[in-house]
C-alpha cells in the first residue's frame, strides 16, 4: 500500500521539532551558565575589594603600632611640660581656609586627644567616638642629630622673620644641634648676617635651594634622627609659593619616619588655622590655642 502524504510530512516534521526543542534547551542552559559565571565573577570582585580594604586597614594599624613602639624605645627625657600634658584633652578644630580637606570654611571638628608620657617621650592618640584616627609622637631633642631648615624665598620680607629666626637660634643652642639651612641665596644672606651677631651660635651650614618643585629630594637628605623644619607661608604674602600647598601631603606620605615642624610665621593681616585644646575633665577652663601646633610631627 503506498505511503500516505500526511504520514510522510508528519514523519519529517517530528525530527525537526525535536531538533528545535533540543536547540532551545541548549541555548537556555548556556544563558543560565553565563549568568552564573557573571554572578561568580561579581562575587569574586567584591571579595577582592574587601580583601584590599582589610589589607589597608591592617597596614594602617601596623603603622600606628609602629609609631607607638618607636616612642617606647626612645631614650628618657623629662620636663614639666610633658608631665603636665598627660591626660585627655578636648580638641576643637575650625576650618578657616579653603584648602581644608573634606571641610568648608566655618566647619568645625571635635576630637579627643589623649596625651601620655611613655619612655621619655610624648605620645598623642587622637580619637573620634572612641576610635583612634591618628597617632602623634614627640621625639626628645636629646635624641636628634641635626636641625634641617628649609626656607622659602622672600621669607626675610615677612613681619615674623626675625622672631622665628631668633627662636630657631635658641632651639639649636639649647639642644646643641648643628643647623643646616636651605633657601634662596638672598634669603640665606640675610639669615647669615643676623646669625653672625649671635656669638654663641656655631656649626651652621647654608645651602642654596630654590627649586621647590623638587622638594622631595629632602626625603633622601633628611635622616630619621634629624629634626626637619619647613618655614611655610599663606596665600597673598611675599614668601608664598604654590608648592607650599602640597607640603602636608608630602610630609604625611614621604616623611613618615622623620620628626618635623611646619612653621607658619607671623604675617600681617592674615588668619591662621585654629586649634583649641581644653582638658576634657574641665572644659570650662581657658583653652590653649595653637599651643601644640608644629610641636608634634605626624607619624603614621
Res 106: pLDDT: 78
The model carries a pTM of: 0.51
Domain boundaries, the chain: 1-73, 80-135, 144-272
Q: How many CB atoms lie within 10 A of CB 262?
A: 17
Tens of pLDDT, residue by residue over 1-30, are 455 554 544 555 555 555 555 556 667 777
| Distance, CA of 233 to chain centre | 19
Res 233: pLDDT: 87
pLDDT at 84 over 50: yes
Q: Which CATH number fits domain 144-272: 3.40.50, 1.20.120, 3.30.70, 1.10.3470?
A: 3.40.50
Res 282: pLDDT: 40
Range with the lowest mean pLDDT among 99-103, 277-281, 288-292? 288-292
Q: Which three cell numbers stand for residue 97?
A: 581656609
Res 218: pLDDT: 93
Mean pLDDT of 132-148: 76
Res 114: pLDDT: 86
pLDDT at 276 over 60: no
For the chain, where are the E strands, in sequence order? 87-94, 108-118, 121-128, 131-138, 146-150, 179-183, 204-208, 226-231, 259-263, 274-279, 288-289, 297-299
Residue 292 banded pLDDT, cuts 50, 70, 90: very low
- Contacts for 141 with CB less than 8 Å, ≥ 6 apart: 77, 171, 174, 175, 177, 227
Range with the lowest mean pLDDT among 78-82, 182-186, 250-254, 293-297? 293-297
Amino acid at each position: 500500500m503506498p505511503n500516505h502524504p500526511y504520514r510522510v510530512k508528519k514523519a519529517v516534521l517530528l525530527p525537526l521539532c525535536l531538533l528545535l526543542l533540543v536547540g532551545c534547551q541548549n541555548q537556555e542552559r548556556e544563558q543560565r551558565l553565563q549568568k552564573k559565571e557573571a554572578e561568580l565573577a561579581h562575587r569574586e570582585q567584591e571579595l577582592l575589594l574587601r580583601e584590599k580594604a582589610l589589607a589597608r586597614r591592617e597596614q594602617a594599624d601596623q603603622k600606628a603600632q609602629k609609631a607607638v613602639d618607636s616612642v617606647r624605645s626612645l631614650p628618657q627625657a623629662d620636663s614639666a611640660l610633658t608631665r603636665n600634658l598627660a591626660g585627655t584633652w578636648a580638641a576643637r578644630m575650625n576650618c578657616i581656609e579653603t584648602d581644608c580637606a573634606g571641610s568648608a570654611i566655618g566647619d568645625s571638628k571635635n576630637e579627643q586627644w589623649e596625651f601620655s608620657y611613655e619612655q621619655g617621650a610624648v605620645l598623642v592618640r587622637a580619637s573620634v567616638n572612641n576610635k583612634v584616627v591618628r597617632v602623634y609622637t614627640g621625639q626628645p631633642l636629646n635624641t636628634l642629630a641635626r636641625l634641617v631648615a628649609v626656607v622659602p624665598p622672600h621669607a626675610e620680607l615677612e613681619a615674623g622673620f626675625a622672631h622665628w629666626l631668633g627662636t630657631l637660634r635658641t632651639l639649636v643652642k639649647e639642644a646643641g644641634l648643628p643647623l643646616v639651612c636651605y633657601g634662596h641665596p638672598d634669603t640665606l644672606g640675610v639669615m647669615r648676617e643676623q646669625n653672625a651677631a649671635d656669638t654663641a651660635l656655631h656649626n651652621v651650614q647654608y645651602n642654596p635651594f630654590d627649586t621647590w618643585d623638587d622638594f622631595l629630594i629632602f626625603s633622601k637628605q633628611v635622616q630619621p634622627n634629624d629634626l626637619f623644619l619647613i618655614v611655610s607661608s599663606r596665600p597673598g604674602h611675599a614668601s608664598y609659593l604654590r608648592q607650599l600647598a602640597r607640603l602636608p601631603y608630602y610630609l604625611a606620605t614621604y616623611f613618615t619616619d622623620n620628626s618635623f615642624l611646619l612653621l607658619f610665621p607671623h604675617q600681617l593681616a592674615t588668619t591662621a588655622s585654629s586649634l583649641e585644646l581644653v582638658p576634657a575633665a574641665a572644659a570650662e577652663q581657658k583653652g590653649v590655642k595653637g599651643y601644640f601646633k608644629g610641636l608634634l610631627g605626624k607619624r603614621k
